[in-house]
Amino acid sequence: MTLTTHIAIATAVTKPIMRAHPFFIFLFAFLSHYAADAIPHWDYHLCSVNEDTSEKRDHTLKNDPKLIGYDLLKVAFDITIGSTLSFILLRPELTFAGLLPVALTILGGILPDMLQPIFWLWKKNNPFTLLKKFHNFMHSNLILRKEYVGPKLVLAGKIFQVFILGCALFFASL
């Protein structure tokens, strides 16, 4: 799932509790990531990652600074779009107290995916192994991308991704 969609879902989930303790805002956003990943979805390919399409999803990072830089720009653009939408929908006060819940919503919504490079690089004795196993458990086994299902379902996956994003934005706007 794209990070924009994860941020939009986290925004929709946390908007009703924006005045709650910051811990709960972060927790609800964080958990929304796993719930969203249980839905079959499309996401974009990272060129700097050797993907393991088995159930283990034991990806590795390519040692290519050009590909890594390209992917970092792609991810940064994705986060920027999602963060902008969250900011527009939540319209926080421009104070620390107003911006903190938005920042925690964004961070919580994308943190599980932001931890993925740690798993690609740190294979042995990783203290986050349980979190990685939980992410794999919660993640839909149907990933609508050509590396997994072939090109015929890619269009359906992209349309479904836009639909999920639209639903999240609709509920966040209420």
Structure confidence at residue 146 as a pLDDT band (50, 70, 90) = low
Is 90 within 8 Å of 11 (Cβ atoms)?
Answer: yes
Q: Which domain holds residue 91?
A: 3-173
Contact 25/52 with Cβ under 8 angstroms?
A: no
Q: How many domains does the chain have?
A: 1
pTM of the model: 0.88
Instruction: Tell me the per-residue pLDDT of 64-123, one tens digit each, with 9 for 90 and over.
Output: 999 999 999 999 999 999 999 999 999 999 999 999 999 999 999 999 999 888 887 887
Rounded CA gap, 87 and 71, in Å?
Answer: 24
Give one DSSP letter per residue of 49-84, joined into a string.
Answer: EE---STT---EE-S-HHHHHHHHHHHHHHHHHHHH
Of the two residues 55 and 132, the one the predictor is more confident about is 132
